[in-house]
Amino acid sequence: MEREPEGLRERKKRQTRETIAAAAMRLFKRRGFDAVTVAEIAAAADVSEKTVFNYFPSKEDLVLSEGPARRAAAIDAIRNRPPGTSLVQPFRELTMAYLDRVEHEPLESLVEIPRLVLASRALQQRLFVGWEEESAVLTPVIAEETGAAEGDLEPLVAARTLAWTHRLAFRAAFLRLLDGEDQREVAADLRRQANRAYDLLENGLAEYGTR
């Protein structure tokens, strides 16, 4: 987590990276993701087109660049969960922490990226891939915490189940915010809803939908 003293080289690199990302976001916000070309982004950042691809492997990564950070936070929450609690707890807390941000952060910073993603098929595709990568990273951590054997399905299932629950609360939140609902109201209702969903997972689906 510590930042090593950067040489001049690293500093310049981070600087160009931020310049490119900032220029891209400015254009995306104004005209939408698909309508902006990489050539335009390169021109706005005063850099060659190839350099953009050097820093961001694809155009989509210009928008979805915080994915890795979220992944690290999730792993952290699992590893440092309070003793005596199951693996549901860290995810429940991740969701609640996010809902606090829904209540208190400025609206624009909450919906800015989701709005872009909703409007672009390419961005949604890239997002789904990132989600699956996240689950793939979470699986071995969960397997280790539960002492599962190599090839067991249980940790695979648990990772998807818990990660998706968090994502669905996340998605429900910004959809309702984009719909104009009040931030306090959305946060309060989704806290109830998310707790019920996590309770359902904890108590089991044995009776779910029995007729």
Partner DNA sequence: GTGGAACTTTTCAGCGACTGTAAGTAAGGT
Partner DNA sequence: ACCTTACTTACAGTCGCTGAAAAGTTCCAC
Residues in contact with DNA by CB under 7 A are 7-9, 12-13, 16, 36-39, 47-51, 53-55, 57-60
Nearer to a second copy, 108 or 179 (CB): 179
Minimal CA–CA distance to 176: which of 126, 109, 111, 91?
A: 111
- Are the beta carbons of 5 and 23 closer than 8 angstroms? no
Report the C-alpha gap between 54 and 67 in whole angstroms.
18
- Are the beta carbons of 151 and 140 closer than 8 angstroms? no
107 near a second copy, judged by CB under 8 A: no
Binding mask 4-43 for a second copy (x = CB under 8 A): ----------------------------------------
CA 140 to each of CA 78, 84, 154: distance values in angstroms, whole numbers, following the listed order:
12, 21, 11
Binding residue (CB under 8 A) for a second copy from 6, 31, 157, 184: 157
Smallest distance from a second copy to CB 190, Å: 8
Smallest distance from a second copy to CB 101, Å: 18
Report the C-alpha gap between 62 and 54 in whole angstroms.
12
The residue with tokens 């005209």 is 31
- Are the beta carbons of 111 and 174 closer than 8 angstroms? yes
203 near a second copy, judged by CB under 8 A: yes
Binding residue (CB under 8 A) for a second copy from 39, 97, 129, 136: 129
Smallest distance from a second copy to CB 73, Å: 18
Nearer to DNA, 9 or 211 (CB): 9
Instruction: Tell me the CB-side half-sphere exposure of residue 13, using CA atoms within 13 A.
Output: 8
Q: Which residues in this chain contact a second copy in the complex, by CB under 8 A? A: 83-88, 124-126, 128-129, 131-132, 142, 145-146, 151-154, 156-158, 160-162, 164-165, 168-169, 172, 190, 193-194, 196-197, 200-211
